[in-house]
């Protein structure tokens, strides 16, 4: 039973960290609220996430991010900031999720969380220009809303059905990887054609 609990915590932690890569603040808020109402137990080390000041601060930052990521140009600025924020959020979530039921050293958990969230965030950051270029920016709010929805779904699944959350995370990573690959190929194609024109 202890092994099952530990594996579930690790799988759930991957799901939460992946959700942080899509929206750094949403999973932090959900986990904090879940601890506050007694759905989960973060323990004394991470109980600060469910404190009133933390919940208010995270909620304010979440609202600013939800609105700002729907605005062209401002979304690029937020993605730049997210390059630092998402890995930190992922590290906190992974470590908090595994601290009570897993024997993972905190440093290892933090690195796994940071890498997972950072990878997802990097994928969406590289793929976003492809959406901007193909839709003249009109598709950005739609994609941003979809990312928020997936982040929320991943967070809930990570807390309720960790294995499913892990599978969804793998699907998200594969999808973002394919989009990022297309975006890089398109960028290289433009550079190649501009070099030919300059000759």
pLDDT of 124 reads 85
Average model confidence (pLDDT) across the chain:
86
Q: Which residue has the higher pLDDT, 107 or 191?
A: 107
pLDDT digits (tens, 9 = 90+) for 40-80: 988 888 989 999 999 999 999 999 999 988 887 787 788 88
Residue 162 has pLDDT above 60, yes or no: yes
pLDDT of 197 reads 53
Domain ranges across the chain: 2-198
User: Phi and psi for 138 in degrees, rounded to 5?
Assistant: -65, -30
Burial 88-101 (b: 16+ CB within 10 A, else e): bbbbbbbbbbbbbb
Confidence of residue 160 (pLDDT cuts 50, 70, 90): very high
pLDDT of 10 reads 92
């Amino acid at each position: 039973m202890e092994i099952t609990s530990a594996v579930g915590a690790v799988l759930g932690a991957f799901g939460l960290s992946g959700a942080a890569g899509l929206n750094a603040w949403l999973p932090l808020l959900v986990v904090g609220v879940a601890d506050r109402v007694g759905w989960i137990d973060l323990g004394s080390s991470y109980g600060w996430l469910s404190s009133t000041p933390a919940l208010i601060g995270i909620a304010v930052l979440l609202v600013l991010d939800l609105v700002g990521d729907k605005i062209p140009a401002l979304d690029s600025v937020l993605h730049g900031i997210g390059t630092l924020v998402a890995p930190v959020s992922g590290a906190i979530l992974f470590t908090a999720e595994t601290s009570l039921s897993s024997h993972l050293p905190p440093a290892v958990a933090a690195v796994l969380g940071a890498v997972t969230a950072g990878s997802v965030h990097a994928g969406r950051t590289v793929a976003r220009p492809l959406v901007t270029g193909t839709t003249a920016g009109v598709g950005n709010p739609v994609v941003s809303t979809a990312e928020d929805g997936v982040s929320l779904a991943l967070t809930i699944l990570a807390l309720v059905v960790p294995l499913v959350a892990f599978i969804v995370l793998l699907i998200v990573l594969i999808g973002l990887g394919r989009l990022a690959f297309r975006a890089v190929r398109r960028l290289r194609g433009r550079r190649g054609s501009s070099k030919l024109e300059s000759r």
